[in-house]
Structure formats: structure tokens, C-alpha cells
Structure 1
């Protein structure tokens, strides 16, 4: 790419806090105007209450499930894409809190006891995913935080950060590659979110790179480079992962025949569907259904 390289950029979200408030707590559903590919300077701690799908963070795209808690560093672009049938909603999917890293860095300077937070801030630059007992504790604290303000909210935040600091190695992982570097630019977010909408609307039918390129008024070669550099994976990989994510949900939550699920997920060829499904999950669709039932 030239000097206008647009790799891994999202929409700048301006976080407006209440007066005399440095810890912002909120909740929202999905779909929502707030659920989009974006970034902000504030550090974010985020709980998914319900649903499954894929999280995009920096150059990573990983599955998520209800109960996971995430910590995203300053200016790491992110988005959670739930797999839902048309017209369906998750009314209260997300609960989160945000705080500017300068506040935590000031705390570290004043209180040596908070020095462990420095390592956590560095980890958050690569998007920390919390699971297991640590995630359950963090989720409880995030929910509790919504009932408090002032000093009580600060106390809950410190306890929440302590859960991340003390989580055993088996209950956390970082998903963004160490080589990831963020560069901000305006306008790119609209293109990315338009492409994601196009994929979602056509997940059961034909999806082509050429048509996606036309959606955002780009040539196919330029779009292919743009999407890989921006989303961290190729366009075809993104489509495959979202289709298989839908197949997993249908296998787990319905009694539909596998042949019907295959068609609903945009696969006309059974062998191709089975091959792609195994590529993403490590098992066949029938094996997946047996294991998750």
C-alpha cells in the first residue's frame, strides 16, 4: 500500500462521560448502532451476556460465547458479530465499562500497590479474553458496577482489574498478534461496516468479492487488499467463518436436517460444506451436533 495505508482502522468513538465521572458504564443490545467496528482511546472491559458469534479485535477474529469477558486496550478496533436469524434481537447482549488509560497510569504512579496494572495495560493492547471462573467473577463485577457510582464504582473497578491480574494462565489469552500496529484514519469504518452488513444480508445466498467491492465502490483487487489489511483476515475467510458460525448455532439449537442447515448457510455442495466445517471446528457437522447435544 502507499502512504495512505489504511490497515486495521476503525471508527473513532468519542466517549462522553457524565460530569465528575471517569468510569463510564453502559449496556446495549444487538443489533445496535453501538455494535459496530470502531475504536476509542478508552480501555474497555466488556461482557457478552448472550449469544454466540465472532469478535473482531485488531487483526484477530475469534469465536465468542455468552459469559466471556474481554479487556481491550486503547485504540484497538473491535466489534462483536452475533449470528442471528433475520429480525431477531438480543435486547441486552452487552455490558461494559470504559476508562481512559491516563487515569490508571496516574493511579500506578501514586500507589505502588497498583504496579501490577502496568503489565495488564500492556496485555490489553493485544485484547485479553477471559474465560472460566475468572470470567464468571468479572461478569458479576461488571453487572454490579451498574448499580454504583462515585467511590463505590471505583472500588468495583479495582476489584475487576484485580480479577484480570490474578487470572490463572488457563483462563485468559491475548488474541491480537504482537506485530499489530494501529493507524487511525477517517472514513474506513463506513466501508468495513458496509461490507459486514452485505455479508450478513446474503449469508444464505451467493456472496462474491466483486459484489462486495462494488458495495463500497472499489475495484476487486483493491478491495481484496483493503479488507485483508483492515479486518486482519481475507474476505473469503470472513465469509466462511460467519457461515460456519451460523451452522454451529443451527446444529446446536434446532432439529433441522443437516442438509437444510447446509443450504441455509449458503453451501450448495455437501462435500464443500463438510470440508469447510471440519476446517473451522475440527469435526464433521454430525459429530458437532452429537457433542454439543
Structure 2
């Protein structure tokens, strides 16, 4: 009999979503299951196979999948290739509220008949990490999962916002972190975009409703979150790597972005990864 997973078994009282990360190796016969909730998962590294209703689909880094409650599915990595996966699970009613309020005139992204697998560019995957950072940092409120779902819908084009973002802008934002030119502030974004400051500011406002400074600070805080989660670097060193010399300012920006202090974020993330 196929197992049916229940969201109530994962969520403590007052929590509205579940976040997890896992590394998969090769599983000869992956166990399939279904559940009473919706799920989003994506591949950060490596490659694997998603088994859905008896069919196998190969996925690689940047693959994003929306899982319906009735999907009979499982997952396996591929031989000699580690696959790192992250997922967020939430009540069907949460998405239905978002859809009814904001996307009632659009196809349901989670419908069983919908194409629910997407391949994100590196720039889009960076944006997904930014959108998921609050939940990855430990937030489990209804507001947190609703923010994530709204951003997710924009990311894959349901609302037409991120899909209309020029590729040069999405690429420049992604390259901000790769280049670590944070000390230059908005000037770095302008240089990476190869457009005039006025043009960059206009497009950032149109696409994201924010200023270039906001975008740079978001990239700084996404970078800081990964350094906190993946390294033992001291917090002041991470602050400096973000191009900031004022530790108090760094703390304020980080708390605003992730809902926790840097030290609390590091502790939470390691508890999540370690399962304790």
C-alpha cells in the first residue's frame, strides 16, 4: 500500500509550513507516497529522477517541481552523482486562498493536469533562494508561506511579473553575489547590468517594486545567510564580506530579511539540517 503523509504529522502547533533539505544517492526502487498537502521542491546540486504515477522524469540543478497532493511520487539520485534537494510543504487551503485572491483568472499552477516542472536559469534559481530564505531561516508563519507562494507564482510566470524581468537585470542581480562586489553598493549592480543608473533604477522599480539599494542589500543578506549556514566564519567577517563595516546595520538588515539574528539563523539552520 502506498503511504499517505499527513501535514499535521510534520507541523507543530502554530506552524503553517514545513521546510527540509536532503542529499539523495541512488535508490534502486524509490518508495512512492502521496499526501494531504501541496509541496514545492527544487534541485540545488546534482541530478536525480522524480517518479510520478509510475513515470520517471530526469531532473538537474535548477529543476523546480510543484507536487499535487494526489501525486504518487518518489525520488532518487543518480549513480555517482549526489543530488541536493530542498522542499517546502504547506496546506492545500493556503494555496487556494492565494489563488482565489490573486490569480483566480489564471490556470491553477498546482492542478493535476498542469505542467508542474520547470527548469530555472541560474538567475531564477538565485531568486528562488532569496524567496525561500525566510522559511529556510526558521519562519513558519502563515505570512511567511504566503509571501513565498506569491513570489513563487511571479517567478514561474503566473502573474507575469518576474517573467517580464529583462534577462540582463536578472543576470546582474545573480552575478552580484558571485562577484562579491558588495562594497560598491548599487554602483556594482549598474556596472554588472551595463545600463545607465537611471535605466537600472527604473527597471528594478518596475519589476520588483524596490530600489537598487534594496536589491543589493537583499543579495548581501542572501550571501550572508549561505555563509552562516555553510561555514564557521565569524559574523563580523561575514559582515565585512557583505561590504558593510557597521555590525549594527548588518544585524538590522539581516533581521529584516530573515526574521532572526545572524547567530539565531545559524543555529536554526543547523538544527533543520541535522534534524534535531
Range class of TM-score, shorter chain? 0.3 to 0.5
Q: Which has the larger radius of gyration?
A: 1
The higher relative CO (CA closer than 8 Å, separation ≥ 6) is in 1
Q: TM-score, normalised by structure 2?
A: 0.46
Q: TM-score, normalised by structure 1?
A: 0.44
